[in-house]
Structure formats: structure tokens, C-alpha cells
Amino acid sequence: MSFRTDERKELVESESGDDVIVLEGLEKEFAVRRKTAFLRYEKRAVRAVDGISFRVRRGEMVGYIGPNGAGKSTTIKMLTGILTPTGGRLRVAGLDPARQRLALTRRIGVVFGQRTTLWWDLPLIDSYRLMRHLYDVPLARYRETLDRCVEQLELADLLHVPVRQLSLGQRMRGDIGAALLHSPEVLYLDEPTIGLDVFSKARVREFLRALNAEQGTTVLLTTHDLTDIEQVCTRVMVIDHGRLVHDGDLAGLHALGESERMLVLDLERELPAVSVPGARTVRVEGPRQWLAFPAGASAAPLVARIAADYPLADLSVREPDIESVIARMYARGRSAAVTS
């Protein structure tokens, strides 16, 4: 899709100064070659992003989720200027990412959970010094930002350790620090908690909340962990097959898919299935029981009730996975279409 000049002018004029990310009918098509027989190839177009429109206001913390291959990374690559859209319109901090990539790099920070931007053999602090030069950050501002990151990300003991010797959680904190040294307005995080233990995940989430509250940084987060969304984001967008299928809050998404969370109880001894209003026992295995309850409901009253009536040793709450939430959302859409 492309826009005529008058349409583009209209869009620019309707743009609010508060919108830091603007997508209008964004598209990305890849031309792929597939071998069909010996020395025979077929050309095919893959529409990774198929007409997505949304706006993110300055200071928002937004989750961008979807199943594997949905088009999340392709969107992020267009937002950072790595890929050029094949249609639609895109603005980040008022800039066209593909055409003004250099100017944009000073305004955005990017963290990839699966890759590091740090120099593998250098101590963390050396990577930071190099980044300061790359981004041309004034010394006083660099020191101030570094001090804040060191304190809040607990990096003091890690600064002089070569990156290859850091644990995954430590490396991730180091990467987040690196992405923030030039004080970006927008921070993209691609699976920042992947592979981390529960404590490291909690630390990263807490840091992002503090960053947003103190600096007003806009955060766009892609993840497969719905707890990231629950604890960090106020809004969640779901993409599937290159299209936006939900834009709202997490409770709304759960309500749409009638999804369920799971309470895993460890009782002090084996007992018959726990019976409590608002939840249903779906599995009993020795002293462990699994209770499903609506994902939009709070677990607190359920836990209080169970703790009062049963000998509870331990418990945990499991979020539904994104794939099942989306599958239920579609199943519901289909049955609504059949009954309406």
C-alpha cells in the first residue's frame, strides 16, 4: 500500500505531538525462492507484515506479542530502520526510520534477548566507553546515566568482568545498560527475559517500570512470557499472520479468549480434589493439584480461601501461553460467527 501526497499530508496533520511511534497500513513483503525440482525455482511473496496501523504515545509501555512467525521481528526491524517497508507509512520520534536511520539511532535503544550488542572479550565498562564514543554522549551525561544504570541494574561488580564470563541474567542487565547510555526516548526490547531465572526476570521487569516512571521512556516489548506483559505493560498488541488482531489491555485479551490461568497447589498431604468457587480442579497428582481460573480474575481471594480451608505448603500461578490465548480467541471468534 502506498499513500498519495495529499493522504500523507492529512496523516501528518492528524498526528498528535504525543505520538512517538506511528504506523499507518505498514507492509513488508519478502520475495522468497523455493526449489521445486532440479534447477527449478519458484518465486513466492511472503507477507510478513500485512497492513498494520497503530500509534504509541510518549511514555507508554506496550507489549507486542504473537505466535512464532507472526511478524513481530519484522515490525521491530522496520521500526529501527534495519528493513525498509514495502508499503504504508512509519514514523518514530518524527523520523522515517529507513531514510533517517542514523538520526534515529540517537533517539532509540534496542535490546535483543538472543543477541548481545556488547564486545564479547572486553570488560563491560570498555563496551560502555566505546558506546559513549559511538553515540557521542557528553561525558557528564554519560557518567550520570552510567551511575543510575549501575545502581539500578546492580552492575557494580560486573563492570570489569569480560562479557563472555557473565551469566545470561548479568549479560542481559549489561545489555539493557548499554542500550540506555545515550538516554533514548524509545526502548525496544525483543524477548528481554528469555532464558532468565525468576529472580533475574523480576529484576529486569522492576528496572523497566522504574525507567518508565523516572525517565518517561517509551517501551515496546516483544515477549512470549505473558507475565512480562502483566507486570510491565499497560497495553498489549497482538499480531498474527502479519495483522493486528488485538489492541487493548491484557485483561481484555484474556476476556476475549476466555483464557485461564493455573494455580498450582502443593498440599501438605494427598487429598481429594480441592473444591473452591471460581476455580476448577483439572489435575491431581499426589499432594500437587492444578486449578484453572479465569485469567482476568485475581488469584488473591482464591488463594486466601484455599489457605483457610486446606493444608497448603506452597503454590504458584502459571500464565497461559500466548499461542493458547490466541487459539482460544480465534475459536471464540469462530463460534460467535456461527451463532450470530
Ligand X SMILES: Nc1ncnc2c1ncn2[C@@H]1O[C@H](COP(=O)(O)OP(=O)(O)OP(=O)(O)O)[C@@H](O)[C@H]1O
CB 26 within 8 A of CB 88: yes
**Whole-number Å distance between alpha carbons of 21 and 49:** 16
Residues within window 17-46 making contact with ligand X, judged by CB under 6 A: 30, 32, 46
Site for ligand X contains 152 (CB under 6 A): no
CB of 271 to ligand X, least distance (A): 40
Residue 125 exposure: Cα atoms within 13 Å on the Cβ side: 10
Q: Give residue 228's identity as a one-letter amino acid code.
A: D
CB 186 within 8 A of CB 109: yes
CB of 248 to ligand X, least distance (A): 19
CB of 111 to ligand X, least distance (A): 15
CB nearer to ligand X: pick between 73 and 183? 73
**Whole-number Å distance between alpha carbons of 94 and 181:** 21
For residue 178, what is its C-alpha cell? 548499554
CB of 242 to ligand X, least distance (A): 7
Torsion of CA 178, 182, 187, 189, to 10 degrees: -10
Site for ligand X contains 340 (CB under 6 A): no
Site for ligand X contains 48 (CB under 6 A): yes
Among 25, 63, 66, 97, binds ligand X (CB under 6 A): 66
Length of the chain: 340
Among 42, 69, 216, 298, binds ligand X (CB under 6 A): 69
Among 26, 27, 72, 233, binds ligand X (CB under 6 A): 72
Stretch that binds ligand X, among 66-74, 208-216, 313-321, 324-332 (CB under 6 A): 66-74
- H or E segment at 219? strand 218-222
In a 3-state reduction of DSSP, which class is residue 238?
A: strand
Site string for ligand X, 272-311 (x = CB under 6 A): ----------------------------------------
CB of 227 to ligand X, least distance (A): 17
CB 109 within 8 A of CB 188: yes
The residue assigned the cell 522468497 is 32
CB of 180 to ligand X, least distance (A): 23
CB nearer to ligand X: pick between 74 and 86? 74
- H or E segment at 186? strand 186-190
Residues within window 102-131 making contact with ligand X, judged by CB under 6 A: none
Angle of helix 322-339 relative to helix 250-257, nearest 10 degrees, comes to: 50
Site size for ligand X (CB under 6 A): 12
CB nearer to ligand X: pick between 71 and 109? 71
Site for ligand X contains 79 (CB under 6 A): no
Among 25, 63, 71, 113, binds ligand X (CB under 6 A): 71
The residues, ordered by sequence, that sit 6+ positions from 59 with a Cβ below 8 Å of its Cβ are 212, 216, 217, 218
Angle of helix 139-152 relative to helix 168-180, nearest 10 degrees, comes to: 150
Site for ligand X contains 68 (CB under 6 A): yes
Stretch that binds ligand X, among 63-71, 119-127, 172-180, 297-305 (CB under 6 A): 63-71
Binding region for ligand X (CB under 6 A)? 30, 32, 46, 48, 66, 68-74
